[in-house]
Amino acid sequence: MATQRELVEMTNKHLIPNYGRLPVAMVRGQGGRLWDADGREYVDLFGGFGAVGVTGHSHPAVAAAIKRQADLLQCCGNLFTNAPQVELAKAITERAFGGKVFFCHSGAEANEAAIKLARLAAGAGRYKIVSFNDCFHGRTMGALSLTPEKFQKGFEPMLPGNVKVNLGDIDAVRSALDDKTAAVIVEPIQGEGGMNVPTERFMRDLRAACDSAGALLICDEVWTAPARTGKWFAYQHYGVTPDIMTLGKACGGGIPVAACVAAPKHQDVLQPGKHGCTLGGNPLCAAAGAAVFKLIEEQNLVALAAAKGEAIMQRMRTAGAKCVKEVRGKGMMIGIELDKPGKDVVTKCMERGVLINVTQETVLRLAPAIVIEDSLLDKGLETLIDVLVNL
């Protein structure tokens, strides 16, 4: 097998440099642990941007489902249906708000489907989408159009009709809505934007504002679901129901599974020919997704995320690290805001074998796998606290 150095060199030679990659090649993962090509072990408290944030790395139930399905049927195209995608769609809709599901592979694609569905459902002439400052909805042109300008540089022009307002500012939302608005898109907790949690009052007012303006409410749950925040879906914290919900990241336990879920009223808007995705809902990925939802149910991971997350937040709040301004989040989607840039903290933790992330310069992000062993989580948090206390 190639050495770490060789893999990094080959990466630089053969891969487009669009990611600010670290010079590390990962070769193995199990639960909350990762190993690089030099054999170094890491405690993973970030779960690959949340992608393995429910099941951890290479969960045996997900691996078994993939192996089983790989020998049976990997792809048949969407002219036909298949059992795993039916099972997964049922698992999602039964725990959400009913309705129907469109499958794809990435959060951005799920949001593209949501934009198209919202435009059709809202009716002729309605094309505008309101989103929020510090949001993140993906890198494809439609999703990018809803995402902050700093990500759009050089790719303009964007889709027409996007207006951004501050999360929490309901008056600004009301002023932005008009008879050309198709939808408002909101993350029930902003991930990339700094783990920002809106209030219940704001989310209820937002729902009401959409209703009175004839606009749809889209919840982008690519980061927040399933189970991560201590509810199956994070909108369930706020007593509101969206018209459309998008999913991605952790839904496949590390395998590409994303979805656009339409509420019953809008479930048949996308008629044949209106949208598609060749490999969307293919049996192999869908089997992984179905295994993830089954695992959450069987191991009660929703409640576990709520309890474990609260314990982590409490521990971080009382750790005595003076540089910590605020610890916020829900369940195991946690932000630790520092009074200084957090890049050094991420580097020092990594040097000591613990993986975390920083966003918006000063907000450390923790999103360990819900199933992470207590002793491993403890070890990771101890290291993080030691780094913070001695910063």
Question: Which residues are part of the catalytic machinery?
Answer: 136, 220, 249
Would you call 258 helix, strand, or coil by DSSP?
strand
Contact 115, 213 (CB under 8 A): no
- Residue 147 beta carbon to ligand PLP: minimum distance, rounded to whole angstroms: 8
Binding ligand PLP (rule: CB under 6 A), the pick from 57, 59, 119, 137 is: 137
Nearer to ligand PLP, 49 or 127 (CB): 49
User: Please, what sign has the CA dihedral across residues 215, 221, 226, 230?
Assistant: negative
- Residue whose beta carbon is closest to ligand PLP: 107
- Residue span 227-266 as binding mask against ligand PLP, x where in contact by CB under 6 A, dash where not: ---------------------x------------------
**List 134, 220, 243, 337, residue binding ligand PLP (CB under 6 A):** 220
* Binding-site string for ligand PLP from residue 287 to residue 326, where x marks contact by CB under 6 A and - marks none: ----------------------------------------
Considering the rule CB under 6 A, would residue 134 count as an interface residue with ligand PLP?
no
d(CA 264, CA 343) in angstroms, rounded, equals 45
Tell me what percent of the chain is helix, strand and coil, each rounded to the nearest 5: 40, 20, 40
Does 222 participate in binding ligand PLP (rule CB under 6 A)? Answer: yes
CB 61 → ligand PLP: shortest distance, Å? 22
Q: How far is the CB of 349 from ligand PLP (least distance, A)?
A: 21
Binding mask 158-197 for ligand PLP (x = CB under 6 A): -----------------------------x---xx-----
Fill in the DSSP letter of residue 103: E
Query: What is the closest distance, in whole angstroms, from the C-beta atom of residue 379 to ligand PLP in the complex?
Result: 27
Q: Which of 47, 107, 335, 342 binds ligand PLP (CB under 6 A)?
A: 107
CB-based burial, 163-188: b 16+ in 10 Å, e otherwise: bbbebbebebbeebbeeebbbbbbbb
* Total residues at interface with ligand PLP (CB under 6 A): 15
Q: Which of 106, 145, 196, 383 binds ligand PLP (CB under 6 A)?
A: 106
The one segment of 105-113, 164-172, 195-203, 236-244 that binds ligand PLP by CB under 6 A: 105-113
Stretch that binds ligand PLP, among 94-102, 106-114, 165-173, 322-330 (CB under 6 A): 106-114
Identify whether the C-beta of residue 162 lies closer than 8 Å to the C-beta of residue 218.
no
Cis peptide before 157 (omega within 30 of 0): yes
Is the separation of the CB atoms in 53 and 47 below 8 Å? yes
Of the residues 42, 223, 233, 238, which one makes contact with ligand PLP according to CB under 6 A: 223
DSSP string, 24-70: --EEEEEBTEEEETT--EEEESSHHHHTTTTT-BT-HHHHHHHHHHH
Could you give the CA distance from residue 183 to residue 242 in angstroms, rounded to a whole number? 11
Minimal distance in Å, beta carbon 237 to ligand PLP?
A: 16
Q: Helices (DSSP H) in 123-221: which residue ranges?
A: 141-146, 170-176, 200-213
Residue 74 or residue 140: which is nearer to ligand PLP going by CB?
140
* From 34-42, 59-67, 136-144, 227-235, span contacting ligand PLP (CB under 6 A): 136-144
Measured torsion, CA atoms of residues 185, 221, 267, 257, in degrees rounded to the nearest 10: 130
Identify the residue among 136, 233, 235, 238 touching ligand PLP (CB under 6 A). 136
**Beta pairing partners, 104:** 258
Q: With beta carbons less than 8 A apart as the criterion, state whether 284 and 74 touch.
A: yes
Q: Which part of the chain contacts ligand PLP (CB under 6 A), choosing from 5-13, 103-111, 325-333, 352-360? A: 103-111
- Contact range with ligand PLP by CB under 6 A, out of 30-38, 121-129, 220-228, 303-311: 220-228
Q: Backbone phi, then psi, for 201, in 5-degree steps?
A: -60, -45
Under 8 Å CB-to-CB from 228, ≥6 apart: which residues? Answer: 50, 53, 54, 234, 250, 305, 331, 332, 333, 367, 370
For binding to ligand PLP (CB under 6 A), which residues are involved?
49, 106-108, 111, 136-138, 187, 191-192, 220, 222-223, 248
